[in-house]
Amino acid sequence: MPFKPVSSKTNFPELERDILRWWKETDAFNKLRKLRAGSKKWSFVDGPITANNPMGVHHAWGRTYKDIFQRYRAMQGFDERWQNGFDCQGLWVEVNVEKDLGFKSKRDIEAYGLAPFVVLCKQRVLNYSAVQTEQSIRLGYWMDWNDTDTLRMLSEKLGENPNQVLTVQGPQGAVTGTVEQLVGQLGLPQLGGSYFTFSDENNYQIWGFIKKCADNGWLYKGTDVMPWCARCGTGVSEHEISTEDYPDLTHPSITARLPLRGRPGEYLLVWTTTPWTLTSNVAVAVGPELSYVKVKQGNDVYYLSEGTTKMLKGEYQVLGKLKGAEMEGWTYDGPFDELPAQQITGGYAPAELRNHIGNAQTNSAQAHRVILWKDVGDAEGTGLVHIAPGCGAEDFHLGKEFGLPVVAPIDENGVFIENFGELSGLSAFDVAPRGFAKKIICIAPTITRIAIQRAGDAKPNCCFVWLMNGSSAWGNRTTSPAINSRAKKKRDHCAIKLWMSWIRFAGFRNSGMIAKWIGYA
């Protein structure tokens, strides 16, 4: 039997299409599943791709690795679940829908209506899950894929009327329900295909786990300080900040002088890249083992770290040296002690946070002092760190450690609240260096990261600077003796310690699954 001729000019895309056609004609994937049915199980839970836009090259790269590993396990004889996942919730989807509608803020969503906005978000997910499914099939990725025509049909019908009744075909037969009900069952056995994080089961399990925590007294409401996007009206995860490819934006940094009490003509020099937070200054931190200098420039005496004296402009005279530990307890006048918010005992915050900011016995102006913090360095700035517990995560935890008042100056829109004088009603982005003239000795540009993606990336454009903002937060008491005792009986102690660390880091994400794992649901 003669061989077919092979061209020396290989057309790789056409070769790939030939393979895909052959797989489809021979039903190769389903034959593999039947061949392995009943064998030892090996479950790969896909980390879901966000169904928000077409896939990028980086998605294809990761999916290729996943496909190779699953095929390898199938060759070893394992029976697999072969289930893709789609992440359906969060800013990735919402902000793109807002862009489509021309919205400028979250207030526009409220005016439009939450229910119809949620429908648009679900429609986007369904449409792009169809697109990504087709892209993945073209990539050669073997999974139990949804029928893309059905996904697009559900998107269309959802927009027409979420309560209309439809019947669709599942792997076990016909399934009937409202469009909303059918969308909520995607990924479940009756409909098969990819799992969707907006499924009813996923959401009910998460809420069920949260209720279980509440019933056992493990849920509490407190306050934390987190990166905050004023444009999107939400916190931004530390993971996102550290991993997303956000460009840099230049903003003014300032060096402010803070008069030492009882030392006429002497000042602490503090440097900050967020001038608006000086309105909420409570303390100044120094490194206990860091070397500091006392310098005279003109008629004024300044304290700063020895390694940062290059920031001084002009001639100066070094009068002495000391360690940071020797400065502990020094008191000073703050840059905005005249503001009513600085005069309120216990601190000051937006109305919804005032019952959660602690019970300090002094106001912020009375609390101004130098504290020791081992993490202070002098790679930049002045070696003296301005501490505002209501405006920074590390500041907040230091405030709790030292019993400092909390002053949280802005609302969720990044606007100064009442009792901040002429700054009230202004955006935090617009105040620097307004009102700082008498307090600043130096203004210089600095680079900060902003929440805006480069063109071509899948993440939506969000053109506002992150603020560190005090906000109310729900937490779960993972240190509860009852949890620890029950968990130790269920699984290996090392695994439980790992779980505890994970859930403290991740909050309640995917905790329905965790609840089942430890036997609480």
Q: What's the mean pLDDT in 89-108?
A: 90
Tokens of 145: 């894929």
Q: Is residue 53 classed exposed, middle or buried when 0-12, 13-18 and 19+ CB atoms within 10 A define those classes?
A: middle
CATH 3.90.740.10 is the classification of domain 248-473 = yes
Query: For residue 235, what pLDDT is reported?
Result: 74
* 79: helix, strand or coil: strand
What is the CATH number that goes with domain 12-164? 3.40.50.620
* 45: helix, strand or coil: coil
Query: For residue 276, what pLDDT is reported?
Result: 85
The CA-CA-CA angle for residues 324, 329, 330, to 5°, reads 85
Distance separating alpha carbons of residues 116 and 97, to the nearest angstrom: 11
Q: Where are the alpha helices (DSSP H) in 161-297?
A: 179-184, 200-215, 238-243
Contact 282, 366 (CB under 8 A): no
Contact 143, 83 (CB under 8 A): yes
Distance separating alpha carbons of residues 49 and 53, to the nearest angstrom: 10
* 320: helix, strand or coil: strand
Task: Note the pTM of the prediction, 2 decimals.
Answer: 0.73
Contact 267, 284 (CB under 8 A): no
Residue partners of 151: CB distance under 8 A and separation at least 6:
126, 127, 129, 130, 133
Task: Note the pLDDT tens digit of each residue in 399-434.
Answer: 989 999 999 898 888 889 999 998 999 888 777 555
Contact 95, 462 (CB under 8 A): yes
Most confident of 196-200, 353-357, 465-469: 196-200
Tokens of 168: 């669709």
Rounded to the nearest 10°, the torsion over CA 513, 169, 149, 158 is: -70
In the predicted structure, residue 120 carries a pLDDT above the cut 80:
yes
Q: How many CA atoms lie within 13 A of 163 on its CB side?
A: 2
Contact 247, 450 (CB under 8 A): yes
Domain boundaries, the chain: 12-164, 248-473
pLDDT-derived band at 353 (thresholds 50, 70, 90) equals: confident
**Comparing 226-230, 261-265, 462-466, which segment has the lowest mean pLDDT?**
462-466
Query: For residue 487, what pLDDT is reported?
Result: 47
In the predicted structure, residue 69 carries a pLDDT above the cut 90:
yes
* 270: helix, strand or coil: strand
